[in-house]
Structure 1
Amino acid sequence: MSSPFDPQNAPVGDVGAALLMIDSRLKSIHAGKGETDPEQRELIEQFTGSLGPAGANDVLDGACTLIYMFTTWLRQAHEHQDKDVIEYVVPTLVATMRMMPKSVRPEAIPTMAGLVIAAANGLSPDAWRKQYGFWTEAEMTPLEVTAFLLADHINRLTGDADFATRLICDALSSAGDG
């Protein structure tokens, strides 16, 4: 039986732009800078500022697609080892976000965990979230943090700092072939 929260019922969004933002953040964090350098931050702000409301919404949808794709990969990897992705990924994700009170307000954490749990159950994170109304400004940074933490988790699991980015790029390339 089809659900209104099935991924095929949700917009894909601008996955490329969302991936660019996540990959940029991954590279700056792992380069030892900890924080995005001011020039790069300004470029990202100019880019997002140039999008307009429809473009920004497309990037938001793209971030949700990334969360879905990263969680799907993690679910498959964990199932291969007879483990439950919700049991092994969500608690670490929540604990990490709790250590980031400047970026992730405590009230956003249950929603971000819900996005990952929805994706782990084969549902669209974006469609699942939208049942509760419009996205809030306070959820934008936690959404980026969630996608970042999932990508970083994948990279650490594989021992490859670019694996998560390649995973999405390969999926985008193969989707363009079909």
Structure 2
Amino acid sequence: MSSSCDPQHAPAGDVGAALMAIDSRLKGVHDGRTETDPEQRQLINQFTASLGPKGADDLLDGACTLIFMFMKWLREAHEAQDKDVIEYVVPSLVATMRMMRKSVRPEAIPTMAGLLVAAGTGLSPSLWRKQYGHWTAEEMTPLEATALLLAEHINRLTNDPDFATRMVTEALSRATGD
């Protein structure tokens, strides 16, 4: 039985732009920058403002696609070890988000946990979220943090600081080559 949240019905969005944003944040964290410098923040704000409503929706869908791809990879890696991705990944990410008080407000955490569970069970995070209405401004930073934490989790598991980015880039290359 097909679900209304089946990934085949979900728009992929602008995965490239979402990946670029996440990769930039990852590099900043690894360079020891915990805060975005004002110049980079201004560039990000200008870029976001230039997107318009359709571009912003595409960026959101792209971020959800990244979350789906990261959780799919993690699910397959955990299943190979006879482990449940929901049991081993979601609690750790939720605990980390709870410590990120400046970036992730407590009321956004259940939504982000739901996105992780949806993706971890093979559902589209974007379509899952749309069941409950439009994205709110307060959910934008937590959504970015969720994708960032997943990428960093994968990078730590593989002991490769660029693995998550490379995995998505290679998947995009294969998709455009087909």
TM bracket, shorter-chain basis: over 0.9
Gaps of 5+ in 2: none
Cα displacement string for residues 79-101 of structure 1 (whole angstroms, at most 9, x for unaligned residues): 11111100010001100000011
Aligned equivalent of 1:143: 143
Aligned equivalent of 1:130: 130
Aligned equivalent of 2:19: 19
Aligned equivalent of 1:50: 50
Identity %: 74
Aligned equivalent of 1:63: 63
Secondary structure in structure 2 of the residue aligned to 1:16: helix
In the TM superposition, residue 72 of structure 1 has moved relative to its aligned partner by 0.3
Aligned counterparts of 2:130 and 2:164: Cα–Cα separation in 1:
26
RMSD over aligned Cα atoms: 0.7
Cα displacement string for residues 120-164 of structure 1 (whole angstroms, at most 9, x for unaligned residues): 111000000100111111111100000000000000100111000
Cα displacement string for residues 57-105 of structure 1 (whole angstroms, at most 9, x for unaligned residues): 1000000000000000000011111111000100011000000111111
CA contact (8 A) 1:28 1:34 kept: yes
In the TM superposition, residue 39 of structure 1 has moved relative to its aligned partner by 2.1
Residues 1-178 of structure 1 correspond to what in structure 2 (within 5 A)? 1-178=1-178
Aligned counterparts of 1:65 and 1:27: Cα–Cα separation in 2:
21
Counterpart residue identity of residue 33, structure 1? R
- TM-score where L is the length of structure 1: 0.98
Aligned counterparts of 1:111 and 1:76: Cα–Cα separation in 2:
23
Secondary structure in structure 1 of the residue aligned to 2:122: coil
Counterpart residue identity of residue 120, structure 1? G
Aligned counterparts of 2:109 and 2:103: Cα–Cα separation in 1:
11
CA contact (8 A) 1:29 1:36 kept: no
